[in-house]
Amino acid sequence: MMDDVETGKINCIATKDLSRFGREHVMMDYYLEFVFPEKHIRYIAVTENEDTEKGLSDFVPFKNLFNEWFAKDTSRKVKAALRAKHAAGQRSFTYAPLGYIRHPEIKNALAIDEETKWIVEKIFDLAVHGAGAAKITKALIAEKIPTAGYLNYKRYGTFANIYAGAPEEKSYAWTISQVKSILRDETYIGNSVHNKQTNLSYKNKKRVRKPPEEWVRVENTQEAIISRDVFEQVQQQIAGRRRQMKDATTQIFAGLLKCADCGWSMSFATNKQNIVPYSYFNCTSYRQFGKERCSSHYIRYDVLYAYVLGRIRYWSQQARQGKEQLLQRLLASGSVELAAAAKKRRAELIKAEKRQAEVDRLFTKLYEDWSAERITGYNFNMLSQKYQTEQQELLEKIERLKAEQASEQQSADDAERWVKLIQKYADPTELTAELLNALIEKIVVHEAVKDETGHREQKVDIYYRFVGKID
């Protein structure tokens, strides 16, 4: 029957009495308050003499409770609406991607920006003729081609904190990752891709990329700037280049090293003037823009290599000596207090859930007593207020306890995963790109400091995957 209500086949419902619905009569009020009025349905309860056309009498006490339910339903509906919006080819965006503008007539759609489209075409043209992202970035800077950020500043005044009064170079300060993301963006062949990112967990708000098979792709949502052939070819070239990078032994740190002060990547270079050539890294923004931007953050390849290998061997030994101890150390939850707290939390949750079911039962009973006129309207109002308050409190408590449990579980799972990985690469004697990428999220290089005696000291922070900085 409720399906017919939803689809609008029914415009009047009559029942003998309200309590016929048993537990579900609580649901009934939801229909009375929200669904029926919305669908213009008249409801009559014969014995209770209720008729929505005449106005309802004493349903008001329930309103708060149903508001709560209604809110949940709304959030579900918002998500469903977003999915429908995506399926219909609409996009959610703050700024149109380079080469496009917000469509002047259609909401949430893109139109080609005739003024900037050529920049995108140029980037793909360079790529399809064999240039990698680094080379393209250099070319864009050399030709002083404005970045998307600068164009937005010029047109809409956004990010004035970055661009206002900045030196001219800022307007064409392209980065390799900007170029890479343009080269991978399916927007340029007319597609919209949604659901690419998600939050890692309740505790960890960091956005993580979802695997491509979970992406939602809608084709032909706007006019393409790049042909599919060109796009495909560029994707293959990118994949090929990534394989080459992985094979090159000196590039094992590619993508992992970051400058501690400006956050840019570190560039690899080889000093060939020396009799024995040696390799080193320094900050990319320092290399591109000089002292104005950042300092060198110079670190020799062999020094970095020895340090990282040493750290990984250390953790590998720890794992071999005792997986459990290492896990506990990673979680910093070896302490008796934390285990006791978890136990207490479990007990509290069970108790709260029990009470919640109990209050639900009492509430239903109260409703039945009231509709059978076993209690007065005054008492009903008073007691129902009390139950509603308690229900709300229980609901909040249960949510909080569950969230705490979930975040604890998440960190435990993460630690376990990392320990499994380090066990897999037991006691390594050399570093490979595969090993580094499996275990390490990033390596942050600080600027070296020299003391009075000329002793040079440099801090290097290793952030491991899943467990972060653990040294």
Quick check: 112 binds Zn ion (CB under 5 A)? no
Quick check: 283 binds Zn ion (CB under 5 A)? yes
Q: How many residues bind Zn ion (CB under 5 A)?
A: 6
Distance from C-alpha of 184 to C-alpha of 173, rounded to nearest angstrom:
20
Interface with Zn ion by CB under 5 A: which range of 28-36, 292-300, 370-378, 451-459? 292-300
Quick check: 444 binds Zn ion (CB under 5 A)? no
- Smallest distance, Zn ion to C-beta of residue 440, A: 19
Interface with Zn ion by CB under 5 A: which range of 106-114, 195-203, 254-262, 363-371? 254-262
- Do 42 and 52 form a contact (C-beta atoms < 8 A)? yes
Distance from C-alpha of 250 to C-alpha of 34, rounded to nearest angstrom:
66
Quick check: 299 binds Zn ion (CB under 5 A)? no
Interface with Zn ion by CB under 5 A: which range of 126-134, 140-148, 286-294, 398-406? 286-294
- By beta-carbon proximity to Zn ion, the closer residue of 259 and 415 is 259
- Smallest distance, Zn ion to C-beta of residue 293, A: 7
CA 458 to chain centre: 33
- Smallest distance, Zn ion to C-beta of residue 281, A: 11
- Of the residues 234, 256, 259, 435, which one makes contact with Zn ion according to CB under 5 A: 259
Interface with Zn ion by CB under 5 A: which range of 13-21, 259-267, 298-306, 342-350? 259-267
- By beta-carbon proximity to Zn ion, the closer residue of 435 and 444 is 444
Quick check: 294 binds Zn ion (CB under 5 A)? yes
Distance from C-alpha of 201 to C-alpha of 468, rounded to nearest angstrom:
15
Quick check: 448 binds Zn ion (CB under 5 A)? no
b/e code 270-299 from CB counts within 10 Å (16+ = b): eeeeeeeeeebbbbbbbbbbeeebbbebbb
Interface with Zn ion by CB under 5 A: which range of 80-88, 161-169, 285-293, 366-374? 285-293
- Smallest distance, Zn ion to C-beta of residue 132, A: 22
b/e code 223-248 from CB counts within 10 Å (16+ = b): ebbbeeebbeebeebeeeeeeeeeee
Binding residues for Zn ion (CB under 5 A) = 259, 261-262, 283, 285, 294
